[in-house]
Amino acid sequence: MAGPSRHKHRQHGSTLIEALIAMAIFAVSILALIAMQGFTIRANSENQYRGQATYLANSLIGQMWAARAKGSFDTDFAFNAGSTCNGTATSSSQAEVSSWLSSISSTLPNASANRQSVTIASALSGAANQVTIVICWQNTADGDVRRFSTTTLIPTS
């Protein structure tokens, strides 16, 4: 019976090694879950900002629809026309645009007025105005500039 006892003696400690390997796999799994949680939080924050930019652009388009019969439509709402996140104007003399710019800067991170743009051009032989709104903000997590752009047609009357 010397054979079986010798064999049993050689496997002494193998359970400890298996337990250490299992703990290492578990620790790596937990670290991966923590990293994924951080990524998810950043993605949710980014989606929230993009949703707010969409809402702000649509609110200005709504104001434009309400004021479309005014003869000075294009001068009342145009702001930093044609620029993309690097305009020069920092404020507007028009109350609607000033209020809108204030909403943007208080809602989105690093969304100064000079980054925003509203371009209005005549379309469909003057039957409508093509409005392009560009909203830019700078993400605080990575410092990259984010851009939301929408274009719509608003009838002149």
Q: What is the pTM of this model?
A: 0.74
Res. 3: pLDDT tops 90: no
Q: What is the pLDDT of residue 13?
A: 67
Residues 123 and 35: beta-carbon distance below 8 Å: no
Q: What is the pLDDT of residue 116?
A: 92
d(CA 104, CA 133): 12
Furthest-apart CA atoms within the chain: distance in Å: 108
Per the rule left: phi > 0, alpha: psi between -120 and 50, beta: everything else, 28 is alpha
Residue range 71-116, pLDDT digits in tens: 677 778 888 887 778 877 788 888 888 999 999 999 999 998 888 9
